[in-house]
A and B are shown apart, each in its own frame.
Chain A
Amino acid sequence: MNRPSSRRQFLKDIGGTAATLPFLLNLPSLGFANGAARKQRLIVMFSPNGVVQNTFWPDTEGKDFAFKQSLSPLEPYKAKTLVLKGVCNKIKGDGDGHMRGMGCLLTGIELFPGNIQGGSDTPAGWSRGISIDQEITRYLQGHPETRTRFGSLEFGVQVSERADTWTRMSYAGPNLPLAPISNPYQMLQKLYGQREDQAMLASVLDEVQEDFTKIRAKVSSEDAHLLDQHATFVRDAEKEMKEFSQTKSDHPTPKLEAGVKNDTEHMPKLSRMQIDLLIDSFQSDAARVATLQYTQSVGGAKMTWLGVNEGHHTLSHEPDEKKEVQEQLTRINTWYCAELAYLVKRLSETKEPGTNQTLLDNTVVIWTNELGKGNSHTRDNIPFVLVGNGLDFTMGRSVFYPMVPHNRLLMSLAHAFGNQLTTFGNPTFCSDGVLNRLT
């Protein structure tokens, strides 16, 4: 389980080899060491509580579809967008709709029985399996040419501090939920904290050496021998540190606006900060997989900046007939779509280092949700909106499926990375193989 203590995290980062390796070697390389092969990437973006079906889905299939209001921010990227309707989360078992919607969304497998009680359903625990983002990460990290410092990064925006089935969609394995990092400053620290440490250490060692000279004068010549030996190690470490800093990439440490509060009111700003860091982490090749989770299933953000003064989840329970509520919900989803569009815009503007391409050419963003529709809690017609050319799917289309299990889509994602899974999650839902009509 992810434990946010940064001291423990530090130890985790430096790993078990610490005793034998110089400090330097445990520090991250920010270079682009992974060669010239294409860098395929995946981003899973999550927003909660379902969508308003008739303002979301295009009316027609094929190339000549039109975006409805909820998807309108994607207009500039229509040629790079693939809208998949009729993909369903068919996982049954313990847990309420939101819990299974969240916990089975990327895992495609049932939840364990447990003590998390939602509504009148049977209580449940964590998911029984690994999630697809982590499965792909595992695959990429298993090959030297695709291995990156972190493999995957889990970004959050206003995710609750609560750790339970409603708040976690990424799993490193059965019963191993991963906590997203909602605080951009914490994410910056994770990405660049140790680089600052390197610079500081070089300067510390410089001053410590100066002090060695002063102290040496106080001790006998026999004892000075020990200090001299010690000083040599300090000098060597400083030298290595300086040499290293000359060879490392010129990728600058990104700057964040200071003092942004981590609260709902600042959600628009936090969202942009996290997206910018995500882009930066791809640019520096710190990871090839990322999740970007807005709130959590049942998320109740009050989006006052949209003129919506009721919590999102409460609104999502209102019946279809309440037009003004459906309009508010559409506004909420349009806002999420605009954040997606910003992410895509940044990807499309950012050069793939060392090539003439952009990050968007090698990345796919999938925007999804724990439900199809909020007031029915259905997991049919879950939004799966893909943007970007990273997986070589045929983009610029709208495709309607006959209520196919989402496990098949999850498998397709793995296949697109070269990970030829024959099943993923519950095998019952995988018998028809990868999802057709993606290419």
Chain B
Amino acid sequence: MSNHLPIFLFGLLWSAALVGADDAGRKIYADRCASCHGAQGQGVRDKYSDPLVGDRSLASLTRYISKQMPDDKPGECTGDDAAHVAEFIYAAFYSPEAQLRSNPPRVELARLTIGQYRNTIADLIGSFGGVSKADERHGIQAEYFNDKRGFDGKKRVLDRIEPIINVRFDDSKPVEQMDKSEWAIRWSGAVTAPQTGDYDFNLETVNGARLWVNDKDVPLIDAWVRSGDDSRHIATIRLLAGRTYFIKVEAAKEKKETVVAVALKWKPPHQAEQFIPEQMLSPGGGSQWLVLGTPFPPDDNILGYERGASVSKAWDDATTQAAFEVAGYVTNHLQQLAGVRADAADAESRKRAVAFCRRFAERAFRRPLSDEVARMYIDQHLGGDVPILPGIKRIVVQVLKSPRFLYNGLENDPNDPYVVASRLSYDLWDSMPDQQLTDAANGKRLSTREAIAKEVDRMMADGRTRTKMREFYHRWLKLDELRGLSKPSGQFPGYDENLVSDLRISLDMFLDDVTWSEPSDFRQLMQSSNLFLNGRLAQFYGAKLPADAPFQSVALPDQGRSGVLTHPLLMAGFAYSATTSPIHRGVFVSRNLLGRRLRAPPDSITPDSPELNPDLTTRERIGKQTRKPNCMTCHDMINPLGFTMEHFDAVGRMRHDEGGKPIDSSGSYRRMDGDVVQFKDAHDLASFLVVSTEAQGAFVERVFKNVVKEPILAYGPTERDRLLHYFVDHAFSIRALLAEISISSALAPPAPPKVAKP
């Protein structure tokens, strides 16, 4: 990439300009601060090792220095001294602008992340067939056969759509025409995976039965031979989020069996075992995807999004294993994928094999093959009398071991339509371009904003975009890190694994609903007073629904609910087993909603047990434990934010008192510009968040990083503000923001960041 060079030069020029800056501040810093913080604020080991960078305003920094610094003699650097040194620190290395100057971000070459790799493989193989058009209906096709352990179409007596797979017949027949003592049932259709991970399928039956998932040939569970009393048959399969998989169950009643009972349940990642819900089933449209089983070492996630910025031996090795896994799949499905028989040796088959391999490499490399590349990767391995099957296998392995497949950004010509196509598809789908996008690139139709916007509009409707947004939300809301969710059993009757599982569904439904409904309004995320509840949740959270009610949006005007801010899943997750945790809640609001930086606590501190001071409320106890000045540097921000949610207990239920004392949910926040805002409760905080440019900007930046997987500053110092204005101008539409991010990042390769002078 060549565009880093001007940035670098610009940085040098600017450094030179610094020389004449505030000399008084520089001298104070050198004399009094540098011994602990380092000459360039880089930190000093065994003194203060963190670099001096942050997001406080100059005023706030000045105030902090005059109160707290130097660490051993606070109060010795006040007034003008504090102001001068703060100005120097702020301009030289502390402020975001200074950070940008000292370490100019650029768009780096990146390999595919694990998620991108898995999606790309699934779509690459899927592009050769086996993928059906989704069926919009819900439920599953059920067919009943008057046949002895068989499924002869002529003996079918009943055909209908059932909501879930769960039947029981005690000495009874499903339909009158069923007169034999031996009969059979088949359910078939598709199942959609709500998230990526391992799913435990449980085929519960007292009869013989088998289950196929994502493989039309080999059953996942084969309990066709009933043996013993075990009626639970469990097998695990990895599924990728948002995709729709072929599913089929067959069961049969044998002569001497009096009861027929078949149920299909699953346990999705992080959830309790449950019937596969009706919304996740459809009576047709199931596809067969290649879902890689090869384990990869985790990606770097240190910046809050997965990056492919580094390689390791373990990763290289995983790419080898994965390449062989794919090659094995290809050779096992050769007829279906390439129209070539495994044992074929004739010239026509060879021609088809070469054609398949060329398409495979083109799609994997996401651009047409040059003659040289085609020769190197394909022609020489399938020419002459090289056996076809081993030739194809070798080509697949070589293509998947190639940097041309493993990296995005090897080509950086801004006018290259294939670069644009790849950017769009990885931005929105974390996967390779589909045929339509590739066609647009082939036809050089991706050079204007309008043309790209049209593609983006189409791509936004794809399930993969929804999946990507969902994964973004999960990361933003820390859903995989909610350690407070498990509570000792019996602590809160009714709060159990099933309830938590329902809460995850409830939150996902809310996020999907806000994002993909027409306004797609960010403010709704923060301010909605509705919760998605089913019967079980309604009972626990004080809403009126029948016990077996399905999920629905329920208005709870009297509970003071405010979108994700008070969603019971987060309230329970940011809590201890019996008490709330205003600190966890406050840290979440500071970092994830307001985008503030917080250092890790200087010492690892165990929270005081409530039993030590049974008369204190949680709020009082925390105030007491964090009152020391060195705690308050951060806790003066954290605590008053976290306290606003005190109306929601450790499982997220509304409460008015704690141990007889009324809840005090008042709080405050000192904005980056130094002004202090007061809140009387979480609802008040939410009203602030939706108008706060800090929170809006933090959201914009987080969406950007998760979509593009690059720092926003690499796209120029004004890109964040530009997108923020766009967001505000478009009524805080999340979808409009998402579209604009992908259009502009695909259209305009990052401009060199321009650094404004302080």
Contacts and interface: CB of A to CB of B under 8 A. Distances in A.
Contacts of B325: 7, 10-11
B404 A19 contact: no
Interface string A99-119: 000000000000111111100
Contacts of A124: 227
Interface of B: 1-2, 4, 106, 108-109, 111, 207-208, 215, 217-219, 222, 224-230, 252, 254-257, 293-297, 309-314, 316-318, 320-321, 324-325, 328-329, 332, 343, 376, 390, 393-394, 397-398, 401-404, 406-407, 409-412
Contacts of A113: 227-229
Interface in A123-166: 123-126, 128, 163-165
Nearest to B297: A19
Contact of B1 (A175, A201, A210, A220): A220
Question: What 3 pairs between A and B have smallest CB-CB spacing?
Answer: A125-B227, A223-B109, A112-B228
Given A200-B390, A233-B311, A11 B293 contact: yes
Given A204-B401, A226-B309, A115 B320 contact: no
Decide if the interface of chain B is mainly helix, strand, loop or mixed. loop
A204 B397 contact: yes
A175 B227 contact: yes
B398 A204 contact: yes
A208 B398 contact: yes
A142 B478 CA distance: 44
Contacts, number: 166
Interface residues of A, number: 62
Nearest to B222: A1
B403 A200 contact: no
A200 B255 CA distance: 54
A323 interface: no
Interface of A: 1, 3-8, 10-11, 14, 18-23, 26, 111-117, 122-126, 128, 163-165, 174-175, 196-197, 200-201, 203-205, 207-208, 210-212, 215, 218-220, 222-223, 226-227, 229-230, 233-234, 236-237, 259
B398 A207 contact: yes
A6 B393 CA distance: 14
Contact of B313 (A114, A122, A175, A236): A236
Nearest to B413: A218
B643 to A, nearest CB: 43
A225 to B, nearest CB: 9
Tell me which of A174, A208, A210 has the highest count of chain B C-beta atoms within 10 A of its own C-beta.
A208
A19 B109 contact: no
Contacts of B401: 204-205, 208, 234
Given A7-B329, A218-B410, A223-B109, 4 more contacts: A6-B332, A19-B297, A123-B255, A222-B1
A36 B747 CA distance: 69
Nearest to B3: A220
8 contacts: A8-B293, A11-B293, A115-B226, A174-B228, A175-B230, A218-B411, A226-B309, A233-B316
Nearest to B311: A230
B398 to A, nearest CB: 5
Contacts of B409: 223
Nearest to B313: A233
A207 B394 CA distance: 11
Given A7-B332, A117-B256, A164-B225, A222 B403 contact: no
B393 A222 contact: no
A226 B295 CA distance: 22
Given A19-B296, A117-B256, A227-B109, A215 B404 contact: yes
B397 A200 contact: yes
Contact of A114 (B106, B225, B328, B402): B225
A180 to B, nearest CB: 16
Contacts of A233: 311-313, 316-317
Given A115-B207, A207-B376, A219 B218 contact: no
A122 B256 contact: yes
A200 B313 CA distance: 20
Contacts of A3: 218-219, 222
Contacts of A205: 401
Contacts of A20: 314
A218 B1 CA distance: 8
A207 B411 CA distance: 20
Contacts of A14: 321
Contacts of A227: 109, 403, 407
A11 B329 contact: no
Nearest to B148: A117
Contacts of B412: 219
- Chain B CB count within 10 A is highest, among A7, A111, A222, for A7
Contacts of B397: 200-201, 204
Given A211-B376, A219-B1, A230-B311, A125 B109 contact: no
B311 A19 contact: no
B568 to A, nearest CB: 36
Contacts of B376: 207, 210-211
Nearest to B312: A233
Contacts of B208: 114-115
A222 B297 contact: no
A18 B233 CA distance: 27
B404 A211 contact: yes
Contact of B225 (A163, A211, A237): A163
A6 B316 contact: no
B4 A222 contact: yes
Contacts of A112: 227-229
Contacts of A10: 324-325, 328
Given A197-B324, A219-B109, A219-B410, A204 B394 contact: yes
B595 to A, nearest CB: 28
Contacts of B255: 117, 123
A223 B296 contact: no
B5 to A, nearest CB: 8
Nearest to A20: B314
Nearest to B380: A207
Interface centre among B109, B111, B256, B318 (most CB of A within 10 A): B109
A382 to B, nearest CB: 23
A200 B2 contact: no
Contact of A212 (B225, B309, B403): B403
Nearest to A197: B324
B117 to A, nearest CB: 14
Given A18-B295, A237-B317, A223 B225 contact: no
Contact of A163 (B106, B222, B252, B321): B222
Nearest to B253: A115
Given A200-B397, A211-B404, A114 B218 contact: no
Given A125-B227, A208-B401, A218-B410, A226 B109 contact: yes
Given A18-B295, A125-B225, A220-B1, A7 B410 contact: no
A18 B227 contact: no
B390 A196 contact: yes
A211 B313 contact: no
Contacts of A164: 224-225
Nearest to B208: A115
Contacts of A19: 295-297, 314, 318
Contacts of A208: 398, 401-403
Contacts of B406: 230
B324 to A, nearest CB: 6
B109 A18 contact: no
A155 B343 CA distance: 23
Contacts of B310: 226, 229
Contacts of B410: 215, 218-219
Nearest to A9: B328
B41 to A, nearest CB: 24
B279 to A, nearest CB: 29
Contacts of B218: 3-5, 8
B227 A201 contact: no
Nearest to B373: A211
Contacts of B394: 200, 203-204
A227 B309 CA distance: 11
